[in-house]
Amino acid sequence: MTDTPAPVVQLSGVGKEYPGGVAALRGVDLRIERGELVAIVGPSGSGKSTLLHIVGTLDRPSSGVVAVAGHDIATLSDRRLSALRSQHVGFVFQAFHLVPGMSARDNVAEGLVYRGLPRAERRRRAERALERVGLADRMGHRPHQLSGGQKQRVAIARAVVGEPDLLLADEPTGALDSASGASVMTLLHDLNKEGATIAVITHDTEIAGQLPRQVRIRDGRIVADTAADADVKAAAV
């Protein structure tokens, strides 16, 4: 008998309230299995950014249970939570967040700075990650020498260089033209085919529609989940 692997993300009854009684999340249940490619989609103010922060362990819920890579975050100190985040979660943001004076190689190597690896090993892994995203010929370039799409590819390489259990991409095409955005989405699909578990947080229904699973959020609640819909249909057969 083999144990069933824990989901990468498991949220049960998660709520988040801010001072003044503002409820950003209300009773959210969400499960993301290993190898999934998921869109979390909703309009501005829907709660999707709060959900990103909760799933990414950047914030703690007011109620409910959050487990990431099998770890219940309520049981972890802030220090252990930071360690969990650095080892298990990779982030890609709309604004790239690259260090201006550093090469693409060194920007990606920064993603391993808390792993205790020698500098030479961090740079070697960074080079491999840049090759993986199609930037083998841009390793020495600084951000100002790169296009928007190339900057996002560097950011993705930095997020995946440590082989995290989960990649969270927050509006990854929001600052890009349509061609660059399409290229980044193709890259995310390719990484998923290689085994990466990816959640794309977006307000763009067209982007969400390109992904095999869409979780729709509004007013702090999940109002639709195509995975749940598929389970219902399968049970009815």
Q: Which two tokens stand for residue 225?
A: 């989940």
pLDDT value at position 114?
81
Which CATH number belongs to the domain containing residue 134 in this structure? 3.40.50.300
Give the E-state strand segments of the chain in sequence order: 9-18, 22-32, 37-41, 63-68, 71-72, 89-93, 166-170, 198-202, 213-218, 221-225
Residue numbers in the chain where pLDDT is lower than 70: 1-3, 228-237
pLDDT of residue 3: 64
Q: Is residue 51 part of a domain?
A: yes
Residue 78 maps to a domain: yes
Report the number of secondary-structure helices (H) and strands (E) in the chain: 8, 10
Question: Any bridge partners for residue 225, and if so which?
Answer: 215
d(CA 163, CA 181): 23
Does residue 1 lie within any of the structural domains? no
Q: In this structure, is residue 205 part of a structural domain?
A: yes
Report the DSSP beta bridge partners of residue 90.
Answer: 167
Amino acid 236: pLDDT: 46
Range of the domain at 83: 9-236
User: What's the pLDDT at 229?
Assistant: 59
DSSP structural state of residue 62: S
Which conformational region is residue 74 in: left (phi greater than 0), alpha (psi within -120 to 50 degrees), or beta? alpha
pLDDT given at position 235: 44
In whole angstroms, what is the distance from residue 139 CA to residue 154 CA?
Answer: 9
Count the domains in the chain.
Answer: 1
Residue 105, domain member (yes or no): yes
Residue 120 domain-assigned (yes or no): yes
Instruction: Name, in order, each residue with C-beta under 8 angstroms of 54's C-beta and a sequence gap of 6 or more.
Output: 11, 14, 16, 25, 60, 61, 66
Strand, coil or helix: 153: helix
What is the separation of C-alpha 148 from the centre of its chain, rounded to a whole number of angstroms?
Answer: 19
Residue 3 lies in a domain: no
pLDDT of residue 234: 44
pTM of the predicted model as reported, rounded to 2 decimal places: 0.91
